[in-house]
Structures are given as C-alpha cells and as structure tokens.
A and B are shown apart, each in its own frame.
Chain A
C-alpha cells in the first residue's frame, strides 16, 4: 500500500549522535565513511492530505530547535540523494512490533487527525564508501536480518505487511497410521520437539478417543510437554552409573529446601517465583530466567524480551507482586575473538555483547525497574550459545502470596496484542542451535515493547490493590496455551478465541493460541468484579479482553467462532507425559597440571590478570542501566569516592522510609566446570554467599536460586556431569542452610558448526538474596581510611586450576578450587558478625584473580595505596612459604574475604571472627601503589594509575572510561 513518507533530519550545523554511532559501527566493519547523517523515517497512510501531513510533521515529528523534515507524497517518484551519497534505510520486517508507530497513531488522534496506518524506519546518508560494500556492512552493523529489512539506495515507499488470509480450519492430523519413525518425523517437521515415546503417548491417547488430534491440540501438547515448560530431563528418571535417580530436581534442589524447612520461605517451587518473608507485612519474591536461544540469533530483542518475561513472572507471582529490581548475567565468547575463528551462523561476540546490553537497557530502563546486580563471563565455547540470564525481584503483601482459580471465573487477557511473533519459542528453546538457526527460527524471536508492559504492570497492580482477581499468570513460553492450560489444571476452561485482539489479520487460531507475543497476562476474574476490572484497565490505558470462563469439566475447550479447535483432557495434558529415562555417567576429564615456568614479573602478571575480560571493569555496562529508579538503592554497583569500584552485591531498601533491606548477589564460574562440574557448583554457591556476606547480608537469612545451562543431556557424560554438579550443590546448600526458592534449566546448549559441535561448559548460576534489618549496617568494597589494616579471612590453598591466572597463560590445570563447608560456614558467619558489630570499614571477596585482584580492586575503589605482606597470608593445602609467589597471589581458593579495619577496632574484629582463620596481612598506606612483599622483599608492585588503565581498558567500548583516567 502506498504511503506518505516523512523523513526528519538533524540540521547540518548540529551534531548528530545517531549518525556518529552509525559511522563508528560501519568503521568496525572496515569501512571509512567520510560522513554519516541519520534520518528518522515515518510512513503514513495515503488518505491524509498534504496539509495534514505537513502540520503533523511540523508539530509532532520534528524537534523545532534542531531538526527539519522532508515530505514525499504517496506514489511520487522521489529522487535519490546527491551523487556520492548512499542511502541506507532500515525497516522492520512485517509482523515485528513497531511501538513508535502506535504512538504516532495516538498523536494523530490527539490532534484530531484521521488515525491512519503508520510505520517507522531509520535511514542514513553515507558518504565516501563503495555502494556494494556499504550495503553488506550496513546489514551487519546497522540492522539484524531477523527483524530488519535493509534497503540500499532504494527508498521505502509502501507498508511492508501483506494481507494474508487466515486459515481458519481446525486441521485434524491423522496419527493412527504412523509408526514410531513416522511420528518422530512428524514431530520434527512440525517443530514440535517431542520424542518418539512422547509421540506414541499422544497417538495412544487419541486412539482411545477414536479421533485424530486437531492441529491446535497437538501444538498445545507440544508446548506443555516442552523441556522449557516441564523440565522433563531433570524431573525424569536418570540411571547414573548404576544408581537410579527418580526426579533429580526433587532429590537435590527441592530436597534442600524441604529438609531445611526454613521459616522465611513463604512459597517455593509452586508459583512463578519463590517467595520469601521480608517483614511482618510484606514478602519479597525472586525469579531468574534464561533467554539464550533468542539472544543468540537476535541479541537485542532476545535479551530485552528476556527481561520483559521475568518481570511478568514476578508480576504474576501470588496475587501480583511489584517488581523492584532486575539482575543480568551474560556468558559470551571473548569480544576480541578473531573473525576467522567465528563459526558460520554465529554473530560476533562483540555484536552479541552490545546487543544484549542494549536489550536489557532498553527494556529495563523504560519499565522503571533498576538493574542492580550482574556479572559477565567469557569463554570461546559460548560462541554459538551465548547465555543470557535475567532476574527480577518483587514485593507483595504476604497475605496475597496464594492464589486460586474458581470455576465460573472469567478468563481475562490483559495487555499487548497477539501477533505471529514468537511462534514455537518454547519448543525452539528445547532444540539445539545450528548454522541455519538464524534463518529458520526467526519466528521464534520477539521484539519487546516495554511501555506496553508498563501499562500491564500498572493495571495489574491497580487491580491487585483493589483485590479484583482470584489468580494470575503471565503469558511466557507457549503463550495463551501454557498460561490458560496451567491455570485451568484441575478445573477446566472454555475459550472463545476470536475475541483475542490481534496486531494484524491473517493468524490461524492455533497461531493465536501458542503465539508468544510479549506483554500479556492472564487473570481469572470473579464475575462480580468484571466491570470494575474493565474500568481500571481503561483508566490505565491497558487493553483487556474476556477470552472465556473457567469450568469444572476437566476439559480445555478452545473455539473460534463456534468451531471447536481443541477439546483437551487436562489430566492427559498435565499428567500424560511419559516419564523420560536417560542414561548418565561421569568420567573425570583427563587433564594434567601444567608445568609453567616460574613467573618472572608478578607485577606484569597482575596487570594482565586485571585486563582479563572476567576481571576487568564492567562500568561501560553498569552506567547504561538505570540502577537508581524507585529510589531504593542504598549501595551502588560502583563505589568509592570516584564511583568506579566494583561492588560485591546490591543493597536495596524497597519500602521508602524504612531501612529494612535486601542484599542481592550471584556466583558463577564456567571455567571450573571444565575441570570438575562439582567444583563449579560449590564455588557458585560459595561466591554468591561471599558477595552477600561481604556486603553485610545475613548468611542465616538468605534464599538462593539455581539456574542450570547445560549442553545436550541426551549425551550420557554430559548428563553425568549435571548429576554430579547437582549433588555437590545439594550437599553444600544443606550445610550453608540456604534453601532454593526457585530455579530453571536450559538444556541442549550446543552449536552444530559445519565441522564440529561446540558445547558450552555446564553452568549453574546461583543467585542469592538476603533480608537485613538495617541497610545502614552494610559496607562496600572501596577502601576508606589511610592507616587502616587489611585482614584476610579464610585459607589460601594451591587452587589455580581454572583460574584467571592460568587462563592468561593459556592453560586450564587440574587444581580447581573446592569448598570446605566447615571453613566456609566459619568465614561467612564471622564476617557477618564483624560487619554487624561495625568493625569493618570495607570488604571484598576473593574470586577471579584471587587475593591480588581483590586487594587491587579495593585500592582502586578507594583510591588509596596498600602494602600487603604475603608471608602473613594463612596458607593451606599445597602452599607453603616456599611456594611460588604467583600461586599465593592468584590462587582462587573459596571462602576468602578481605576486610579493612581501623587499627583501634582490630581486637573487636578478631573477637567477632571467632574461629574463622584470619590474619592481618597489610595496611592501607594511602600511597599511589598496590605493593605485595614477601619475606621482606617487594615481589609485585603496580601503580594505581597503571592498574586502573589495565582494569578499565578491555570493556571501554565507548572510549570514555580511559578519558576519566587521563583527567
């Protein structure tokens, strides 16, 4: 359809930051444009008059101070830009959400103009480059093929969508004649991700019914039975080296929680998020999710909708929780990976990093939820499967922590409209990625609209305040099918799907039913409240639709204009999944301890470790996230007088005016998994607890979450590694008395490159949340005072296997850190008591890079020089006075926390540390170096300035952090 085309551009005399950013992106592709100027483009329906278009462009689309606009009439032949100037236009593909276009339509309405079709795009005028090279580079640097269409020297003149006719037939799919192979083929062809045994169960069920399943029924079963929704590997039966494990999750994660039976656990494993008591009135809930597959092929949209999804999880917890904080953890290949090492079908890790950070930023910030904690991990094996963990914390009245649907309640959908975006996300995420995933799976990617979600959130919280619904859940994987399927379990539901509001016409009923279009919630509303619900939603500008009623028939019936598309037995849907049985075995990796030559220059080695991606400053990311909104922040992610020191954990006081708070931390080290997954699992929990405790959190009032990301668990060894890790995690959590309140797993993280399969190291992210009485009794990691003392709590052992130091030497090693639970408990409790007693000035845990990095980061944060005597460090297994200096500096032994204490409070501190091994190892001399001595000799010295440069340079992607150094 022809359209008016309006382009808005910054006046030539003014800086054009969007143009400059595009120029930089093109330069990274090897082009050298002499000039790039950006344009914002708008297409408007051709029924507007010329005068209307110009009025609208002038008063709404254009900034009168800085911008001008040009208008092209529908169908008019428009001349291309001047010779030597090439025009790149970046449009959204049809079906991709365009939130700006919706605002354009709202503005038309506000001006009493006809509300016509609208679309938006970006354009760039580029000088000084070859047209063909530009077109190729622009497709990579300025667009993503999954969601964007790029026009090179062709102008956008009409709307991209086409008028599809919807296929409204129910389409029964005969199964009776198929054997197992045929069934498996049908599952594969349809993207159902069901295995032979599961397909046979479906076949048998429909044989009993004496009919063929309709397409919608088959799709619903596939969604509900997906690994993503049912965790069927970890809840199935595993034969592990002769031992039979029925339900691994129940035997490990849930076992811990049920054994400990901590009284602060309000609701665990039953709701969208785990709920923990906060005070006498309120509880806090927490959930962490992964969004790996979508982020691999479209990092921006994948990470953004990941954030959106986990926010909805929290919003849909209990009878509605208010989201108060977000977390994010990324595992990526190194951003400087040479292009020739990049397997076909993978995005470059730098592109992924920039995309996922922008995705979290551009969803979390507009939602008004602070992103307060996270971490970043790098390994080449993440190249095909980058991991994107996103977490969210909410607060709700404890009295509203339970929910119950009643037969007769209305099924009510709130929020965004349904489109063809995200079809087969749940089943897609249960399959491996391969070189062609980028093209075949594009439908599984969604682009988020945070303001649509904000409206849903505002509406849900307003409805919750007035107690207008009986239950709620979010539309995540599987869309309506999963949400309504879950809510109607044990009851029944009758749905009239034609009422669902659509983004555009042309969707088949089954597509509407399973679409994972974002920003939607499903509520059960008692009939007496329906009018009030509609009124509140109207006031909150949130679309609301009655989809049907909950019943007590045990059947999930979905109709479209009266025609039945699904009539599913809910018992079969939820309980009919055959128990999956998998074989597992564990054979330790054959590794050898490297025989490294003795370090000749420990100072240089320290600078190298500081520059490792695992260790270096993450300020470039942190500053792009709003970590202050909601005014709950009581400890910043960056600390010290110049606000650039790395904080171990976030501290929030979520009830304004009260100092009661929560502390949030996390632990993960993927490299340890390459040596021993059990060590990886223990260390993740220990690190999360160290972060919490080093900040002032209470180890006895801390709940934890587990998020597994693993390779293909159909492989026996891989599953064996997972089993081993799970038991190690169980054992330590039982000792630390930390209940798991929620968790999630993402399996099959393998990438089939043309010549090999790339498997991620098995990862368990442990997220920890502690509730504390007073946020004023917390500390951060930046040194505070000249002449204070440094006390190292814990024992340093010969544990360099998997360490960052070894990584800088290109080796892995075998001596991976393990956790001694007795020692860990003594350290965590001792440091907690000391901080509560007020005798700790600052504290930092030792993790990647060991003692050397922890001490240097404290010094950098406080801008105070230090002198540490390594001879005073309490040593354990494998280390002695005769050991190499670098081993003491860089060992990554667990359960170690470095404290700063005023000399006058040392006795106090020691009394509080009780049995935790500790020693005074140095002092804050306030000079301009970090110095380590051993046996009276200077063995490692770096200036604060050199350390800062080394530490800030690697992820200074805008080149602004180093400027600060130069200042």
Chain B
C-alpha cells in the first residue's frame, strides 16, 4: 500500500518540524515540508494530503498569545477547508504550539463542528516556560487512532499549557463525551492535579484533546521528542533490565497508529 502523504507545516517560529517529519517517515508515512506561504498560495493543495501535522515551536513568536497569529492567518486564508479536509478523511495532529494553533483556530475540541474557540491554552500557573518529562494516560476517547489505556512518558516543554474550557458545562463535555484524549497522571496512575506531575495546572489534568470526529488530536507534551528509544530518560535502566535497546520510545505510538489509520482510510 502507498505511504500516506503527510503535510508537515512550516511557518516562521515553528521549530519541531524536522523531528515530526522524521517520526512520520519512521512510521511509514510520506511526510513533506510545506511552508505556510506555499500552502496559502494554493489552499486547495491541502486536499492532496492524508495527514496535516502542525509541529511545535513559537509560531510568529507566540506574539499576542501562543499560536494566535498563525491560527488567525489559517482561519482567514484557509477558512473551512480544514473542516472539509476532515470530511474527506484527513487526519490532523497538533503538538505543543501546534496544539495551541488548533485550539485558537477552533479545530479543537470543535464540539459543535464549527470553528470557534471553546477552550484556551494559557500561562502555566508557574508563569514560566518549563521543560520536564510527564506521565500521561491515553483516555477512552473519540480519537480514531490513539489507543486507550496506555501509560506513556513524553517531555512537556511549554509556558502556556494550562487548558481552560470556556465554562463548566464544556469542562464536563470534554471529560464525559470523549474529547479529553490525554491526561497527566501521578505515580499511582490517577489524574494529576498537582505540580510537577501536572506541569501547568490544567484543570482536570487534561494534556490533549480530540475533536467531534476523532480525526484531530492535539497535545501539549511531545511524542515527537520521545519516539526513539534513546529519547527516553531511563533507556539505560531499560537496557540493563532487557539486555537490549527497545525498538521504540513511548511517543512512537502516535505516529504509527496515525499512519496506519491514514493508510487504511486512503
């Protein structure tokens, strides 16, 4: 079967495009870098791809607010094409700053199928950027490619990752109706409400969201920095216990499963 084409978006300030590209390639996808200027020059070229990936970084410096300027640009120039992209079977991944962009764009959680901002990702309660490994549990969610029930360790590296829904009603919907795809958990496996297991103070420990269709996934922590075995902070211990280096790091599951579904749908 043909490797599904993956559009890895570039823009001024996006800076995780190379590792995202490599992870998709390693998973059997056919990733291509596309600069936002190229995409907006031919907006319909979006439909040539099976997967749209918005990598992490500081798009346009995160000026005004994280992800705001790029989201604004995509909204103004791509319009509803992103929704049509999902209708046509496309999948979307947003990591860290990419997640912030999708949230500002209104593509996540998109509970009503309209591009409107329902949640925000705002300043960590510490009010500064922080880089640390966190433990996450994949939830039983709408997401069509992320398996539920996995406990994984990925690094978080952000200053604005506190996920705040617009009201209590939506907060319940996110948890009860399968929009919360990833949550921070503590050593016992319970949702973590306290620092540092929950690095930013997100209510309900939500680290990642999917949308109504389950074809979009966004998260603050980085599977793109944890897909190789040597990425994991404890690879030496694993090697001592197992005698060999494992094949993958914890983040690889996202890229493998996404490519698998994109290929099956293609």
Binding site for B on A (CB under 8 A): 14-15, 17-18, 20-21, 59-61, 63-66, 99-100, 102-104, 106-107, 110-112, 361, 365-368, 449-451, 454-455, 458, 538-541, 622-631, 633-634, 636, 639, 641, 643, 653, 656-657, 659, 775-776, 779-780, 784, 958, 960, 963-964
B13 close to A99 (CB less than 8 A): no
B236-A779 in contact (CB<8A): yes
* Nearest chain A CB to B31 CB, angstrom units: 12
Determine how close the nearest CB of chain B comes to the CB of A891; give it in whole angstroms.
30
Contact yes or no, B63 A111, CB < 8 A: no
B69 near A107 (CB under 8 angstroms)? yes
Note all chain A residues with C-beta closer than 8 A to B165.
Answer: 65
B18 near A630 with CB under 8 A, answer yes
State whether A110 and B73 are in contact (beta carbons under 8 Å apart), knowing that A63-B122, A964-B196 are contacts in the complex. yes
Q: Which residue among B126, B131, B240 has the maximum number of chain A CB atoms within 10 Å of its CB?
A: B131
Interface residue? B230 (CB, 8 A): yes
Chain A residues with CB under 8 Å of B10's CB are: 458
Provided the pairs A450-B61, A454-B13 are in contact, do residues A656 and B18 lie with their beta carbons within 8 angstroms? Answer: yes
B239 within 8 A of A: yes
Complex contact A99–B61 (CB within 8 A): yes
A958-B126 contact, Cβ under 8 Å, with A65-B164, A110-B76, A776-B239: yes
Determine the chain A residues whose CB is within 8 A of the CB of B3 once the complex forms.
Answer: none
Q: For the complex, give the distance between the alpha carbons of A540 and B19 in Å.
A: 19
The CA of A963 and the CA of B155, in the complex, are separated in Å by 20
Contacts of B72 in A (CB 8 A): 59-60, 107, 110-111
Query: How far is it, in angstroms, between the C-alpha of A942 and the C-alpha of B122 when the chains are bound?
Result: 42
* B13→A366 contact, CB < 8 A: yes
Residue of A nearest to B76 (CB): A110
The 5 closest A-B CB pairs, nearest first, are A368-B15, A103-B63, A17-B127, A631-B19, A65-B120
From 126 to 157 in chain B, residues with beta carbon under 8 angstroms from any chain A beta carbon are 126-133, 155, 157
> Would you call B233 and A636 a contact (CB within 8 A)?
yes
Report whether A365 and B129 are in contact in the complex, using a CB–CB cutoff of 8 Å. Answer: yes
Shortest Cβ gap from A926 to chain B (Å): 15
A569 to B126, CA, bound (A): 57
**Are B35 and A631 in touch, CB under 8 angstroms?**
no
Query: Which of B22, B64, B128, B245 meets A656, CB within 8 Å?
Result: B22
| A219 to B: closest C-beta gap in Å | 32
B15/A367 in contact, CB under 8 A:
yes
Cβ of B123 under 8 Å from chain A: yes
Contact mask B90-125 → A, CB, 8 Å, 1/0? Answer: 000000000000000000000000000111101111
Q: Establish whether residues A100 and B64, one from each chain, have CB atoms under 8 Å apart when the complex forms.
A: yes
| 6 further contact pairs, Cβ within 8 A, besides A21-B128, A368-B57 | A63-B65, A99-B63, A111-B72, A366-B15, A623-B131, A960-B195
B255 within 8 A of A: no
Q: Is the CB of B123 within 8 A of A17?
A: yes
What is the bound-complex CA distance between A458 and B236, given in angstroms? 35
**Which of chain A's residues have a CB closer than 8 A to the CB of B22?**
631, 656-657
How many Å from the CB of B115 to the closest CB on chain A? 12
- In angstroms, Cα B48 to Cα A660, docked, is 36
Say yes or no: B69 contacts A775, CB within 8 Å: no
* C-alpha gap A458/B35 in the complex (Å): 11
Interface pair A960/B12, CB less than 8 Å apart: no
* Complex Cα–Cα for A964 and B199 (A): 12
The answer to whether B77 touches A110, judged by C-beta atoms less than 8 angstroms apart, is yes
Chain B stretch 161-176: residues in CB contact (< 8 A) with chain A? 164-166
B225 A17 Cβ-Cβ under 8 A: no
Q: How far is the CB of B100 from chain A (nearest CB, A)?
A: 11
Hey, which chain A residues are within 8 Å of B35, CB to CB? Answer: 539-540
Whether A20 touches B133, Cβ cut-off 8 Å, given contacts A103-B60, A451-B60, is no
**Interface 0/1 of B19-56, CB less than 8 Å to A:** 10011001000000001011000000000000000001
Task: Give the distance in Å from the alpha carbon of A451 to the alpha carbon of B132 in the complex.
Answer: 24
**Bound complex: CA A540 to CA B122 (Å):** 28
Find B233's partner among A59, A538, A643, A659 (CB 8 Å cutoff). Answer: A643
